[in-house]
Amino acid sequence: MRVLMLSLAVLTVMSGAAMTSQKDAPPGKVPFERVCATCHGPNAEGAQGPKIAGIEMEYEEFLAKVRHGGGEMPAISQSQMTDEEVKQVFDYLQSL
């Protein structure tokens, strides 16, 4: 019984820590991880896709690239990532 209670306590603390870290994450990090990290790497340093950390393009150009794709970049629809999330990702990438 004691082991079960200890296990439940550890799981509760761990799940609370995970929720806190997502809550404390910069606004663009969560949508970046959901949509972009698979190709651009977890830190936007490049993987299958190019490095985009510290991106130096204008937001309008970035939004067009996200929406229309190009080369190996697929188009990302508004149902996958809203314009507000794209702006948050853009700001997040500039901060890296």
Token pair, residue 14, equals 């761990």
pTM over 0.75: no
- Which DSSP string corresponds to 20-75? HHHHHS-TTHHHIIIIIHHHH-TTSS-SSSPP-TT--S-HHHHHHHHHH-BTTBPP
3 state DSSP class of 13 = helix
Query: Which residues, at least 6 apart from 23, have a Cβ–Cβ distance to it below 8 Å?
Result: none
Q: Which amino acid is at 70?
A: G
Q: Which CATH architecture has domain 26-95?
A: Orthogonal Bundle (1.10)
pLDDT in tens, 36-88: 999 999 999 999 999 999 999 999 999 999 999 999 999 999 999 999 999 99
